[in-house]
Amino acid sequence: MTVEDHCRLVGWVAERLVARLPEPTRKLIPDGAVTLAAAHDVGKVSPGFQARILGTNQCGYEESHAVISEAAVRKFYQANGMGHQGWAVIAGLHHGDRSEPLADTVGKYGGPGWSELRQSLIDKLIKDFGQLPNESPSAVFTSLAGLVCIADWIASDENLFPLGCPIGDYRNQIDKILDNLGFLWPTPQQNLTFEQLFRFPPNSIQTATYNLADDRALLVVEGPMGCGKTEAALWAAYRLMTSGRNQGLYFALPTRLSSNLVYHRVVAFLRTVFGASMATRLLHGQAWLYEFLQQSSEDQPGMLAGGEEFLPGRSWFSPAKRGLLWPFAVGTVDQALLGTIQVRHYFLRLFGLAGKVVILDEVHSYDVYTGTLIDALIEKLLNLGCSVILLSGTLTRSRRQELGVCIEGSAANTYPLISRIDGKTCTPECPDRVKKGVHLKKVNPQNETFWSDLESYLKKGAVVLWVCNAVATAQAYYCEAQSRLSFVDVDILHSRFLPWHRSKKEEKWSKQLGKDCSKRDPGLFIATQVVEQSVDLDADLLITELAPTDMLLQRMGRLWRHPRDRRPLAKSLSQNGIF
């Protein structure tokens, strides 16, 4: 295939991709985007690239065609008196990173003769696809860089477009190829109620969140642990998607454990909205292994929670850098944050998030460095037509202001609070089921009294959660508990387990301490901070080491989290937190 044919094919693919984008994202794509996508590889018309293809001596010529493409497009802008030549950077960036180009006519790029050939090719592409973009790049730069990269990847795949066929034959096949790859945006079922989505009625916080989600914006949901902020965010996302203001969803959490557990809840929600065949991506460093273990589980042999989309060799979206291009995903926040720092293909991640509802959970929990990246991410997402929903149980007023939500008057100190970046607020009542008084009792695990009291609680049938600040401490207490409490199940969970072992433990804990567990066997569960946030665990008794206040409040969110007909301990005792 000639360079000219390849450029035309990329342009055709980009043209059909733009037509498939949801309206909120399509509006971000400037006129001339398809032409720029077609022109991204004109730098292959150069002696260095041709010598590389032929395997001959390059004689000091530039080998990177991307940097020559940028130089050629920049020259075209200059020669035709067009402003905003910054669009040329996209041609130099389409392989993930770029170098600063020289003038298009330099000898390293082949000199004036080769430059004229490149300018002639750009002229031909403009005749086919229209003028190059000539407006200020601003936020849409990222979207267009992502579009060009995807179109190039697809058009360069010889399995999709075999060599040897006339170039014209490919054009009519592009839509079918994009269908098979999965570039389809499903249509949600309209007018579903909260009860239909989640199988229980909404509380005041969930209703208030839904009511404020009437337009694209930054929305902050502050409420106590266990009040249903996850369902509130998903219900708001449902309203934004069914109204056409957004398409797609990414639910970002602080840890892999919280991602794994929330993933199943989001899968159930999306299957209700879009049908049982709707696949949802899981995105974090060990997601591939989690999916493999799900595939091999005894409960669903041979099937994954995400459906056939995740079977080996099935998905074009399987590589990590392409995962956010899938319409619906749950994962760790770092997958989105990579779009804010200069890593390879950072623009692809932002393009994948453009126009979606992005939910960021536990936004209070990040350090200054990560918090700064989150601030930058939120700004970029809002410019890309996203709705951003932030969830927190312990967000401070100052941090809320740093995020761009400034509330005046008495509402600024109200809790729970639902607020929006434009100043609109709602102050719902705290649901009765999450109101609880927690009695604190200071104890020492080095004393025999501690162990005798713990033994009596377990013999009465209590489920006890013990949270430690360090892995070594958790391991030491686990060993001692095993020797002292052999009559009951004692288990431990922390970040140093092998992934497959940790996955089994996570599944066990979510079943034995989860909301839907009707018959709970007594047990002692020792863990580190991995169970502190965004994890739906319900203990009868909590043991925790001293920690910062916000962390203690999060840990208390695992105590009496769900209403139950029977608790094995008296109310006054079962609401003890043991430090």
pLDDT digits (tens, 9 = 90+) for 379-419: 999 999 999 999 998 888 888 998 889 888 888 888 899 99
pLDDT at 376: 93
Q: With contact defined as beta carbons under 8 Å apart, do 527 and 494 qualify?
A: yes
**Tens digit of pLDDT for each residue in 435-488?**
777 888 888 999 999 999 999 999 988 889 999 999 999 999 999 999 999 899
pTM for this prediction: 0.81
**pLDDT (0 to 100) of residue 1:** 81
Task: Measure CA of the first residue to CA of the last residue in the chain; give whole Å.
Answer: 70
Question: Over pLDDT 90: what percentage of the chain?
Answer: 44
Which stretch of DSSP H or E encloses residue 368?
helix 368-383
CA distance 327 to 350: 13
Q: What is residue 148's three-state secondary structure?
A: helix
C-beta of residue 145 within 8 angstroms of C-beta of residue 94: yes
State how beta strands 417-420 and 425-426 pair: antiparallel
Question: Strand 417-420 and strand 218-222: pairing?
Answer: antiparallel
The residue with tokens 């940028």 is: 70
Q: Which residues pair with 417 in a beta bridge?
A: 222
Contacts of 208 (CB under 8 A, 6+ apart): 418, 426, 427, 428
pLDDT at 310 exceeding the cut of 80: no
Which residues 6+ apart lie within 8 Å of 317 measured at CB? 182, 281, 309, 323, 325, 326
Give SS3 for 448.
helix
Half-sphere exposure of 309 (CA within 13 A, CB side): 23
Does the structure show a pLDDT above 90 at 11? yes
Containing 463, the helix (H) or strand (E) segment is: strand 463-467
CA distance 153 to 349: 15
pLDDT of residue 306: 37
Give the mean pLDDT of the chain: 85
Q: What is the mean pLDDT of residues 316-323?
A: 77
Question: Is the pLDDT score of 193 beyond 90?
Answer: yes
Give, for 348, the enclosing helix (H) or strand (E): helix 346-353
Q: How far apart are CA 391 and CA 222, in angstroms?
A: 6
Contact 454, 488 (CB under 8 A): no
Question: Given the structure tokens 């925790």, which residue do they identify?
Answer: 544
**Domains of the chain, each with CATH number or no CATH:** 3-181 (1.10.3210.30), 203-433 (3.40.50.300), 436-578 (3.40.50.300)
Over the Cα atoms of the chain, what is R_g? Answer: 28
Report pLDDT for 534: 65
Across the range 17-32, mean pLDDT stands at: 88
> Which token pair is 566?
């029977």
At 266-308, the pLDDT tens digits run 999 999 999 988 888 888 876 655 555 555 444 443 333 333 4
Give me the mean pLDDT over the 368-373 stretch.
Answer: 89
Sign (positive or negative) of CA dihedral 178, 182, 183, 185: positive
Quick: pLDDT tens for 25-82. 888 888 899 999 999 999 999 998 888 888 776 778 888 899 999 999 999 999 988 8
User: What pLDDT, on the 0 to 100 scale, is given for residue 309?
Assistant: 41
Angle of helix 111-129 relative to helix 65-79, nearest 10 degrees? Answer: 70
3-state secondary structure of 307: coil
User: Which own/partner pairs from 176-182 qualify as long-range (CB within 8 Å, at least 24 positions apart)?
Assistant: 178/13, 178/16, 178/17, 178/20, 178/154, 181/154, 181/316, 182/309, 182/315, 182/316, 182/317, 182/326
What average pLDDT score do residues 212-235 get?
A: 92
> Tell me, what's the pLDDT at 138?
75
Q: What is the pLDDT of residue 547?
A: 87
Average pLDDT over residues 246-251: 94
Contact 65, 43 (CB under 8 A): yes
Which ranges constitute the DSSP H helices of 409-529? 448-459, 471-484, 499-512
List the strands of the sheet with 218-222, edge to edge: 281-283, 328-332, 249-253, 357-360, 387-392, 218-222, 417-420, 425-426
Q: Are 39 and 7 in contact (CB under 8 A)?
A: yes
122 within 8 A of 42, measured Cβ to Cβ: yes
| Position 502 confidence tier, pLDDT thresholds 50, 70, 90 | confident
Q: How far is the CA of 117 from the CAs of 3, 35, 72, 296, 350, in angstroms?
A: 11, 17, 10, 56, 34
Q: Which tokens hold the place of 535?
A: 């994890």
Percent of the chain with pLDDT over 70: 92
Contacts by residues 363-368 (CB-CB < 8 Å, ≥ 24 positions apart): 363/390, 363/391, 363/392, 363/395, 363/399, 363/403, 364/392, 364/393, 364/394, 364/395, 364/396, 364/399, 364/550, 365/254, 365/533, 365/550, 365/554, 366/254, 366/333
At how many degrees (to 10) do helices 204-212 and 229-242 cross? Answer: 30
133 vs 31: CA distance, rounded Å:
6
Residue 293 pLDDT: 55
Instruction: Give the separation between CA 251 and CA 326, rounded to whole angstroms.
Output: 13
Q: How many helices and strands (H and E) does the chain possess? A: 24, 14
Whether 572 shows a pLDDT value over 90: the answer reads no
Residue 370: which residues within 8 A CB-CB, separation 6 or more? Answer: 333, 337
φ/ψ (deg, to 5) at 573: -85, -40
Report pLDDT digits (tens) over 73-110. 999 999 988 878 888 899 888 887 788 888 999 999 99
